[in-house]
Amino acid sequence: MSLKERITDDMKTAMRAKDSDRLLAIRMLLAALKQKEVDERVVLDDTMVVAIVDKLIKQRKDSIEQFRKAARDDLADKEAAELLVLEAYLPQRLSADEIDAAVKAIVADLGAKGPGDMGKVMGAVKQALAGKADMGLVSGAVKRALAG
């Protein structure tokens, strides 16, 4: 079963259970997936679905931060609930040590030296670790690998 099919099944389950908060989050995700398919005239595979889920998670985290700064805990809590629903659709994330090891291997393969090669390394790392790691942590690991 593809990830998209699993999301659709989860929507049906949330409907039957009358879980309106979960249903709202899943419908938002399905709308984002459908928008991508319509805009680019493609059929999404699991990798593309994970990339969209990752993007939506980043948006939720940014929103939570902004709502907390504005003392709008009610909205921050709503975003946090959506975040939990979205995180269920991501594959198991790599640990910080696993990210560092993968980045060091890619830097060695590319023969990258110094901060000037950051773009080249990030391009390769994004392909290798897409959906498997938080790109904020990956960026920090790349900076450390190129500095040392």
Q: What is the pLDDT of residues 98-124, one digit of tens each?
A: 888 888 888 888 877 777 778 888 888
Show me where the domains of the chain are located. 3-87, 96-147
CATH of domain 96-147: 1.10.10.410
Residue 5 has pLDDT above 90, yes or no: yes
CATH of domain 3-87: 1.10.1510.10
Query: How is residue 148 written in tokens?
Result: 């040392």
Of the two residues 48 and 148, the one the predictor is more confident about is 48
SS3 per residue for 72-139: CHHHHHHHHHHHHHHHCCCCCCCCHHHHHHHHHHHHHHHCCCCHHHHHHHHHHHHHHHCCCCCHHHHH
Distances (CA, A) of 141 to 14, 62, 105, 120, 129: 38, 21, 12, 14, 12
Per-residue pLDDT, 98: 86
Residues 6+ apart with CB under 8 A from 104: 145
Per-residue pLDDT, 148: 66
Per-residue pLDDT, 140: 85
Task: Compute the average pLDDT of residues 78-107.
Answer: 88
Global confidence as pTM: 0.76
